[in-house]
Structure 1
Amino acid sequence: MANMIMASSKPLITLSSSSLPANTKPKLQIPQLSFPKILKITKPQLLSLSTSTLKSLSLIAATSLTFAPPSLAEEIEKAALFDFNLTLPIIMVEFLVLMVALDKIWFTPLGNFMDGRDAAIKEKLSSVKDTSEEVKQLEEQAAAVMRAARAEISAALNKMKKETQGEVEQKLAEGRKKIEADLQEALAKLETQKEETMKALDSQIAALSDGIVKKDMSTHLYTAPFSSKSKEGEDMSRFAGTGHPPAFNRLTTP
């Protein structure tokens, strides 16, 4: 390709000052170039073309421009300000080929990928919105269940407290009654024991006093059978004042 481009390049045609007359000014004449007709190819046809077909078309265009008619070469040589060669058409063809190749290889798959990703993102967003509503419903249901469970637990606790308090009060009342009954029974027993003890003590004291009196009287009978009347009167007065026999008074008085 590079050899063809170099072979088709022409040197610039320079005009010497001696060939032009002195009084005349050079006039710029743009040559009318006749290019070969380019086939009109639509975009679907370009997309359907393969790389080998595009390469063959580019080679055909390059050869057709290389072997141009002699009139075109003469008109090009007459144009002193332009150096027209096959570089520009080849670059244009290469650009078109590159664009078609990029469209086939890069842009179309990339567009399909982007469309698929957008669709997937939209689907995920819609599913996330749906799940968020479900999550809200589940949270509300869970909150309702928790409220019901708390109310049920509090009611059960209050019921248990009332039942336990009633049982405790009943047991306390029973215990108090039992303690009071036991206390009354113990007090009654103590009272009876006290009375019995007092009776026993009274009987023992009476027996002891009788024994002492009898012993004292027996000793007095043997030692002094005849006592003075004054002394007997004194003893009798003491017996009348104290309620005890004279011998017992003598034992108790100092």
Structure 2
Amino acid sequence: MSVITIFPQMIEQYLASSVMGRATKRELLEVTVLDLRSFTDDPHRSIDDAPYGGGPGMLMMAEPMLRALSDPRVVAPVIGLSPIGKTFDQVDARALSSLAGFTLVCGRYEGFDARIEERCDRLLSIGDFVLAGGELAALVVIEATARLLEGVLGNETSAKDESFADDLLLEYPQYTRPREIDGAAVPEVLLSGDHGEVDRWRYAQRLVRTMQHRPDLIERRGGISEKEVEILHRYGYDELLHSFDKERFER
């Protein structure tokens, strides 16, 4: 994959660290960072100018970006990172991870010249808020996508059990030593050695967490199945089921 940015060091430094750094060293991940300023043709390496029609701030100029997009290191599809784009999610990450590559274009200042947006194959946003530039958004997209690549994570089952996996449920709570902190103990089921029961309990916790914190995901997946209702009954979550159904009805 490739990234077009005016701050290449921001991308390079992060990708040299932690999981992404190990993946790069093992050649499981290859990211080419293109410095937009190297595609300018003036002594000041200008990449922004005042917008036509007036208004606050500066706008990224079209010409340097067009030159950058013509570079042979740019891999299609070209994805512009912009607040007006579709909100990036795990489905997008999975789709991007199946591609041979793609290019992320990082905006700055007041954003892109509209003619650059038109040259992008798609626009993505990481949320309904505004950042100083697209570099952090690019890193979010890269990491969310790269960790789905085979071999990037040490445990290949990790990505399958996490929040926003195929079933749109949040991840279950996890615990490590000590067994008790200020009276809060590790659930006995996790100490039982009964792996089947642990799996059932964890699935119930995924349902509970999603119902409590992200009911919109329950709606997106079409509700809760009869089998899932039985699992919640098994662990005593009848009140949660009742209140959840009532809340959905009242909405």
TM range (shorter): under 0.3
Between Structure 1 and Structure 2, the one with more helix by share is: 1
Which one has a larger percent strand, Structure 1 or Structure 2? 2
Q: Could you tell me the TM-score, scaled by structure 2's length? A: 0.23
Q: Work out which of the two has the higher radius of gyration on C-alpha atoms and give 1 or 2.
A: 1
Q: What TM-score do the two structures reach when normalised by structure 1? A: 0.23
